[in-house]
Amino acid sequence: MTLVPQTALAVCLIADGVLGSQTHDPGAGDTHGRVELEIITPATSDVIAIDTPSAGIVTTARRIITHLSAAWHHDTEFRPVPGQWCAACPVARWCPDAANTSAPTIVIDGVTIDARTGEVLSAPGGLTARAEAVTGVLAEPPADDDPTV
């Protein structure tokens, strides 16, 4: 449950009777059930079953969920927590709290291009044919990324 915390959440939901209830009372549902996690590899497929009626299982699941939610559960300031994920954020360049999100850039004929996406970051003298060709190549998906194949 630590490696796949969704299983811990599912155990807690079942133990609290949230799932399977036809009433509006969250505690009125069935508190017995089983959470199954299927692990698929190229060679095998294994199903791990977790029985929710076990008190030890429910206690462990609650401890995992409490640990994962403790940092934000009592948060009243909602300050950003910048990190490596800022590099892929589409609005990071406008975020003063973003971590070092400087993407690799290419400068061609004075035109600055984001090397990951092909986006023109600045073109003070206008977009040249060479720079436009580079942005086109970077923006195109790889040939082996064809979803019809």
pTM for the predicted model, two decimal places: 0.50
19 has pLDDT over 70: yes
Q: Mean pLDDT over residues 38-60, rounded?
A: 89
What pLDDT, on the 0 to 100 scale, is given for residue 149?
A: 47
For every residue of the chain, which 3-state class applies, written as one string? Answer: CCCCHHHHHHHHHHHCCCCCCCCCCHHHCCCCCEEEEEEECCCCEEEEEEECCCHHHHHHHHHHHHHHHHHHHCCCCCCCCCCHHHHHCCCHHHCCCCCCCCCCEEEECCEEEECCCCCEEECCCCCCHHHHHHHHHHHCCCHHHCCCC
Provide the greatest CA pair distance for the chain: 69
Q: Which domain holds residue 22?
A: 5-73
Whether 147 is covered by a domain: the verdict is no
Average pLDDT score over residue span 76-88 = 77
Same domain, 35 and 62: yes
For residues 129-147, give the mean pLDDT. Answer: 71
Q: What domain count does the chain have?
A: 2
The position carrying tokens 């399977």 is 20
Write down the pLDDT at residue 122: 84
Instruction: Pick the last residue of a domain from 73, 105, 126.
Output: 73
Do residues 43 and 101 share a domain?
Answer: no
Greater confidence, 135 or 60?
60
Co-location of 63 and 92 in the same domain: no
- Predicted local distance difference test score (pLDDT) of residue 58: 92
| pLDDT of 46 higher than 90 | yes
129: in domain: yes
